[in-house]
């Protein structure tokens, strides 16, 4: 087998969302994201998604910046030695920040490795982590901010009817207690309900009372209430509220997670492999969370099936205690970039593929149809 990369390309794709996704940082109506595609000399393929958002209102990373870092730096760096994903990850560590760019490239190499070994990505992750895999993962739905309480409750009802095992409501100051109370009332006391503020609250205002009032509703967690980079603020807030704080934006590396747990800034972790710089970092974070006994679940970036495939393989590992944010393309998009794609089963789980490689066939026609720009990158593997 020839382990060198023969071809590498980066694509920026655009997929219209069925309906705008509204959060505390604003509205997203089309999803512009970056795909990474590598092919080795034997024709094995690797696909990854670098799922930054197009705007800089969630994190500093953007789709355009990610496309630039992948095409100008990350792919070349990744291709310079052996294609083993762990080594690719260490080479990519030379890049500061730009976690989605690094993760997308690393993902393509995990997928390539899985294709080469005729193994599923879940089996590769299981071997790397020394942990068994599950055949199905429980999933929840992330319900955006709607114009009215009634339309939010309709969305919650649809999600529960479709089997989702957990509801996450997007909140912001002024769109919080009323909607949480209404959803709790509708769902009953036993249902798993949580909220995500995407950093829209501040300490030192009456926001703090708003957050304290949410303690009454038995939420599984309050995700990222305060600013994207404010670990100390979250630690102070966690001392004042009972509900576990979950961090998303604040956790962009293994070290961030360790620090957050040491400081008491969270008791629940949203793990997005893209946000932490890739699957290797994600595996390490999984171990830290299992050892610390904190709730752990796989978050999402409204990825296409290419990105979701890696998330699914990752959270197939034992240790992910809570349902993943993994609404399928049938919910979010008119079509997916993989065909057949996955769906949520009536029991609120998604089946983890056991097929080799990505686990879902990438449809080149759909990819071509969505492509806004494409760059071929020359990689020179050292012999």
Near Mg ion by CB under 5 A: residue from 12, 106, 141, 248 = 248
Interface with ligand OSB includes 248 (CB under 6 A)?
A: yes
Only segment of 145-153, 159-167, 201-209, 296-304 that touches ligand OSB (CB under 6 A):
296-304
Residue 353 binding ligand OSB, by CB under 6 A = no
Our CB check for ligand OSB shows the closer of 167 and 370 to be 167
Told to check if 301 binds ligand OSB by CB under 6 A, we report: yes
* Per-residue tokens: 306: 């290419």
Q: Could you list the active site residues? A: 170, 272
* The one among 92, 302, 350, 358 contacting ligand OSB by CB under 6 A: 302
Instruction: Quickly tell me which residue has 């760059």 as its tokens.
Output: 375
- Our finding on whether 138 is near ligand OSB (CB under 6 A) is no
Pick the closer one to Mg ion by CB: 95 or 171: 171
Angstrom distances, CA of residue 321 to CA of 110, 138, 210, 324: 24, 9, 28, 9
CB 254 within 8 A of CB 286: no
List alpha helices for 70-165, DSSP H. Answer: 75-78, 85-92, 99-117, 121-129, 149-161
Task: Report the residue number, 85 or 144, with the smaller CB distance to ligand OSB.
Answer: 144
Span near ligand OSB by CB under 6 A; candidates 8-16, 84-92, 204-212, 299-307: 299-307
Cα separation of 222 and 214, whole Å? Answer: 9
Number of H helices and E strands in the chain, helices first, is 14, 13
Per-residue burial over 88-122, b if 16 or more Cβ lie within 10 Å, else e, is bbebbeebeebbbbbbbbbbbbbbbbbbbeebbbb
Q: Least distance (Å) from Mg ion to the CB of residue 223? A: 5
Examine residue 338 and tell whether it contacts ligand OSB (CB under 6 A): no
Q: Does 300 bind ligand OSB (CB under 6 A)?
A: yes
Q: Which does 33 bind (CB under 5 to 8 A by kind): ligand OSB, Mg ion, none?
A: none
Residue 61, contacted partner among ligand OSB, Mg ion, none, CB below 5-8 A by kind: none
Dist CA 163 CA 157 (whole Å): 10
325 binds ligand OSB (CB under 6 A): yes
Q: What DSSP line would sit under 30-97, residue for residue?
A: EEEEEEEEEEETT--EEEEEE---SSTTSSS--HHHHHHHIIIIIHHHHTTS---HHHHHHHHTTS-S
Token pair 């990474």: residue:
36
Place of tokens 């020359």: 378
Minimum gap (Å) between residue 305 Cβ and ligand OSB: 12
Region for residue 277 given its phi and psi (left: phi exceeds 0; alpha: psi -120 to 50; beta: otherwise): left
Q: Which stretch binds ligand OSB (CB under 6 A): 6-14, 115-123, 280-288, 293-301?
A: 293-301
User: What's the closest the beta carbon of residue 342 comes to ligand OSB, in angstroms?
Assistant: 13
List the x/- string, 40-69, binding to ligand OSB by CB under 6 A: -------------x----x-----------
100 binds ligand OSB (CB under 6 A): no
Chain positions 151 to 210 lying near Mg ion, rule: CB under 5 A, are: 196
Under rule CB under 6 A, residue 336 binds ligand OSB: no
Peptide bond just before 289 cis, omega within 30 deg: no
3-state helix, strand, coil in the chain (%, to 5): 35, 25, 40
Give the residues lining the site for Mg ion (CB under 5 A). 196, 223, 248
Residues that bind ligand OSB (CB under 6 A): 53, 58, 142, 196, 198, 248, 299-302, 325, 327
């Amino acid at each position: 087998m020839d382990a060198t990369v023969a071809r590498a390309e980066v694509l920026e794709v655009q997929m219209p969302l069925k309906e705008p996704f509204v959060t505390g940082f604003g509205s997203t109506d089309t999803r512009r994201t970056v795909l990474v595609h590598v092919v080795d000399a034997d024709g094995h393929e690797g696909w990854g998604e670098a799922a930054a958002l197009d705007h800089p209102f969630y994190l500093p990373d953007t789709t355009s910046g990610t496309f630039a870092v992948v095409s100008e730096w990350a792919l070349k760096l990744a291709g310079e030695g052996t294609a083993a994903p762990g080594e690719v990850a260490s080479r990519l560590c030379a890049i500061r920040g730009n976690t989605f760019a690094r993760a997308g490239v690393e993902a393509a190499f995990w997928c390539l490795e899985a294709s080469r070994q005729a193994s599923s990505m879940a089996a590769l992750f299981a071997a790397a982590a020394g942990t068994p895999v599950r055949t199905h993962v429980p999933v929840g739905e992330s319900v955006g901010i709607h114009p009215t309480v009634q339309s939010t409750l309709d969305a919650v009802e649809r999600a529960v009817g479709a089997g989702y095992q957990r509801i996450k409501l997007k909140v912001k100051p002024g769109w919080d207690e009323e909607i949480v109370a209404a959803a709790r009332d509708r769902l009953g006391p036993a249902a798993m309900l949580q909220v995500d503020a995407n950093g829209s609250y501040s300490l030192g205002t009456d926001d703090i009372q708003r957050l304290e009032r949410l303690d009454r509703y038995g939420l599984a967690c309050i995700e990222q209430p305060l600013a994207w980079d404010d670990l100390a603020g979250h630690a102070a807030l966690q001392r004042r509220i009972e509900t576990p704080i979950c961090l998303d934006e604040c956790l962009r590396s293994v070290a961030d997670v360790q620090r957050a747990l040491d400081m008491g800034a969270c008791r629940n972790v949203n793990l997005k492999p893209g946000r932490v710089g890739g699957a290797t970092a994600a595996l390490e974070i999984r171990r830290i969370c299992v050892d610390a006994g904190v709730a752990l679940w796989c978050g999402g970036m409204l990825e296409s099936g290419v990105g979701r495939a890696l998330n699914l393989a990752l959270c197939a590992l034992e240790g992910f205690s809570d349902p993943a944010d993994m609404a399928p393309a049938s919910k979010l998009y008119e079509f997916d970039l993989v065909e057949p794609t996955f769906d949520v089963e009536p029991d609120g789980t998604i089946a983890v593929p056991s097929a080799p490689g990505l686990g879902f066939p990438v449809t080149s026609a759909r990819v071509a149809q969505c492509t806004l720009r494409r760059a071929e990158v020359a990689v020179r593997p050292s012999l």
